[in-house]
Structure 1
C-alpha cells in the first residue's frame, strides 16, 4: 500500500522562494566546488610543464593525472557513506582540510613518487567533496527550482577551471618553478573555504531524518526569516509529489545495508543506468580535458600557445552551464542530459579531426559547451534518484564508479595515440558519450517533484 505524505520540514523547504539564505548556501558550496575544479584543472597544465622539466614519459605523465582520480574514487564512495551517517556539513569541512593541506605540500615535492602520493591524498578530499555538495544543495532547494540550482552549483566548476587556465597561462610558463607556485595558489583559498563551510547550516532534511527535529526546525526557520531575492517576495508552494512505500530501503542504517539498498528492486535500474552514465562521462571528459594542453603541445604548438588555446576552449563551459540550467526545468532532466551528451559525442569527433587553429578552437569550444552542460544536468539528476537516507550513499557511489573511469582514461590516451593518433582518441570518447546518451533514459525524471524523504 502506498502512503502519500509530505513531512512538514520538507514542505516548508519546498514552499520558500529563493532567499539570501539559499544564496549563502549556494555560494559557500560553490566556492568549494570552484576550488576543486581549479585543482583538477591545474594538474593538466602542470603535467605539460613537468613533461618538459622532469623529462617525463607519456606513461609517467598519465599516472600523475590518474593518481588523483584513484583518491577521488575512494573519496567519493567513502564520503557519500559518511555524509549519510554523520552529516553533510561535517564531510564538507573534512574534505576541504585534506585537500588544502595536500595541495600545499605538493608545491614542495622533489620527485615523481612524492607527487603521486600527494595526488592520491588530494583526490580523497576532492572525490568526497563533489557528490556531497550536490546532495547538500539539493536538500535545501525548493522543488520547482532544484534542478536549476544544482546546475548553477556545477557552473562554479567552470569558474574554477577558468581560474586554473589563467594560472596555467600566466604563471606556469612565465615564472621560475611556476608549477610549484600554481600548487601554492591552489592551497591558499582552501583555508577561507573551510571557514565559509563551517558557517553553513547542516541539511535540515538530513537532521529531520535523523530524528533531530528541533535542529531541523531551527534551520528551516532561519531560511524562512531570510529576505527573498528577486522581484517576488511572497512564499509559493511548489508542486509536491511525494510517493513512499514500505520497503527495507528506508530502514537501512549501516553502510553495507545502504549499498545493498541501491540494488533493491526499486532502485536497481536507475542505479545501473546512473553508474553507466557516470562511468562514460568521466572517461570521455577527463580523457579529453586532462590531455588537451599536452596534446596541443605535442602537435607543435608551444607551451604558451597551447595553454592559450585551452583557456579559450575553457571559457565555453559557462554558456554550456547557463543553457543547461534553463533547459533542465523546461525540458526536464533526461532530455536535457541526453541532448548535451549527444552534442558532446558529435563535438568530440569534430575536435579530433580538426586541423588549423580556428577549427581547433571552434570544435574545442563546442566540446566544452556540450560536455559541461551534460555535467550540470548529471549532477542535478543524481541526488534525485534516491531517498534522503540513501542520497549521500547513492550519489557518492555513482561518482566513485565514475572516478574509476577517470583513472583509466588518462592511462588510455598514450596507447590510443600510438594505435591511431588523436582522431582515434576522440572517436573513442565519442563512443562513450553515445553510450551515456542511451543510459540516461533509464533514469527517473523528477522535475518539479519533492525529494523522497524516506
Structure 2
C-alpha cells in the first residue's frame, strides 16, 4: 500500500479527466506555435538520424564498404550527441532557447548538406561525427521550447505528441527514400538535400517566434531581485557547480533511466528488418509495411500515455506501458503471418513509445528548474550513448543463438530480441520506481544566473503550482511576460 501511495502525484490532482480537445483549446496561439517549432525540430532529428540507415546499401556501394562499416557512421553519431547536449543545453540555459535552437538547426542543415557531398568513406565518418554534435542539442531544446509555454494541464498530452515527432521524422524519410531517391539521378544524395531544406525551414520558423515565456519571466525576476553583483557568466558557472553538487545522485539516476529507455527503443527496432526477412521470410515490401504499422502504433501509444499521465502521474503511466510491452513480446516474435506480426509490432510499439511519450515531461519535471534544457538533454544523450552498442549486442547474440528456417541455419533474432527486451523492461521498471514524482512542478520559477538557482529543486515548486492548476484546469492561467519597447514586465493572463 505504501508503494502504491508513492506513485500518487504530489498535491491535488483533478478527479475528472478533461476532454483532450478542451485541453487543446486552453493553449493560446503563441503556445501552439512554440509547440509546433519544438515538434518540428525533433521531427527533423528523427529524419536526419534515419537517413543513414535508410541509405546504408547505397552508401556501401558508393564508398566500397560493407553495410557493417556504414553503420559505424550511426554509432559515431550516437556517441558524439552527448557533446552537443552539453554545448547547446548549457547555451540554452544561459542565453535562452530561441537563438540556441535556431543556430542548432542551421548547423544540422550544414552538416546534412555536407554529408550529401562526401565522396570518400573517411569524409562521411567525419561529417557524421560533427553531425552528431549538432543533433545532440535538439531534444533538450525541443522539449523545453514545447513544454515551457503551455498550461500545466496540457503537458502530458503535449509530451506524448512531441516525443512521437521522432517516429514521424522516420516516416517522412522513408517516404522520400521510397519515392524520390530511386527516381533521382543523384540517388541517396537527394534524401539528404530534402533534409537540409526541411532543417532550414525549421530554423526560419523558430526565428520568427518569441523567446520562451518562462525563460523571460525567470530572467526578469532575477533582474528585479538583483540577486548577484557578479557577471552573468560567472554567476551561471557558480550555480552550475552548485547544481551538480546538489543533484549528483539525481543525475546518475537520470542517465540510468535514459539508458534503459534508449535500449528499449533500440532492442525493439534495430534488428526488426533482419528479423522479419531472415526469420519470417517477409519481402522487403512487406517489411516496409510492417515498419510503417509499428510507427503508427508508436504515435498512438505516445500520445495516449502522455495524455493519461496527467491524471495517473508520470511514473505510474510509464510502469503501465512497460508492463503492457512485456505482455506483448510473444505476439511480437511468435506469429509467422503478416497479420499476426503486424498486430504484434503495433501493440508492442504502442507500449514502448507509450512509455517514451511520458519521458519529455517526466524528465523536464525531474530536472533542476534553472537547468532544465541542459540537465534533461545531457541525461537523454548520455543514455543514448550508453545504448549505442545495442545493435552489436543483438547481432552477436544472433551469432550464438541459431535457428533453422526452411532448412537454412540463420540467427535466432526472435529469441535475442525477446530476451534483451525483457531484461531492459526490468531495468527500466526499477529505475522508474526509484525516481521522483514531480507532477505539476512549476516551469517559470528560476533562471540559471540567479543566486541560489543551483540548489533549487523541482519538489519545492510542486505544491503551489498544483493549486494554480486545479483552480484553472481549463484556462491554464499563469503569468505571461510582455515586452513593450525595451521594457519587460509581467502580466497575469492565459498562457
TM-score by length of 2: 0.73
Cα 1:253–1:393 change in 2 (3 A) is: farther
Determine which of 37, 45, 60 is the counterpart of 1:36. 45
Task: Give 1:192 deviation, angstroms.
Answer: 1.1
1-side partners of 2:42 and 2:275: how far apart? 27
Task: Give 1:26 deviation, angstroms.
Answer: 0.8
1-side partners of 2:350 and 2:242: how far apart? 36
Task: Give 1:294 deviation, angstroms.
Answer: 4.6
2-side partners of 1:357 and 1:55: how far apart? 35
Cα 1:119–1:290 change in 2 (3 A) is: farther
Q: How does 1:298-447 map to 2 (within 5 A)?
A: 298-299=278-279, 300-348=281-329, 350-420=331-401, 421-422=412-413, 423-447=415-439
* Aligned residue in 1 for 2:445: 453
Task: Give 1:377 deviation, angstroms.
Answer: 0.3
| Structure 2: gaps spanning 5 or more residues | 1-24, 225-232, 402-411, 447-495
**Structure 1 position 180 matched with structure 2 position 189:** yes
Task: Give 1:253 deviation, angstroms.
Answer: 3.9
Which entry has the higher C-alpha Rg, 1 or 2? 2
SS at 1:407's partner residue? coil
* Aligned residue in 2 for 1:219: none
* Aligned residue in 1 for 2:215: 206
Task: Give 1:295 deviation, angstroms.
Answer: 4.4
Task: Give 1:33 deviation, angstroms.
Answer: 1.5
2-side partners of 1:252 and 1:395: how far apart? 22
* Aligned residue in 2 for 1:13: none
1-side partners of 2:83 and 2:362: how far apart? 22
Task: Give 1:126 deviation, angstroms.
Answer: 1.7
Identify the structure with the greater strand proportion: 2
Higher RCO (C-alpha 8 Å, min separation 6): 1
Determine which of 94, 115, 121 is the counterpart of 1:106. 115
* Aligned residue in 2 for 1:293: 273
* Aligned residue in 2 for 1:6: none
* Aligned residue in 1 for 2:95: 86
| Structure 1: gaps spanning 5 or more residues | 1-15, 216-250
2-side partners of 1:442 and 1:359: how far apart? 36
2-side partners of 1:345 and 1:277: how far apart? 17
C-alpha offsets along residues 354-392 of structure 1, whole Å, 9 cap, x if unaligned? 433333222222222112222210111111113432212
* Aligned residue in 2 for 1:123: 132
Contact 1:46 1:172 in 2 (8 A): no
SS at 2:119's partner residue? coil
* Aligned residue in 2 for 1:72: 81
Q: How does 1:161-176 map to 2 (within 5 A)?
A: 161-172=170-181
Out of 104-113 and 18-27, give the one that drifted further: 104-113
**Structure 1 position 274 matched with structure 2 position 274:** no
Number of residue-to-residue matches in the alignment: 402
1-side partners of 2:145 and 2:163: how far apart? 13
Contact 1:83 1:393 in 2 (8 A): yes
Contact 1:34 1:157 in 2 (8 A): yes
Contact 1:205 1:388 in 2 (8 A): no
Cα 1:179–1:380 change in 2 (3 A) is: same
C-alpha offsets along residues 113-153 of structure 1, whole Å, 9 cap, x if unaligned? 22222222222222101112112222222222223222222
Task: Give 1:429 deviation, angstroms.
Answer: 2.8
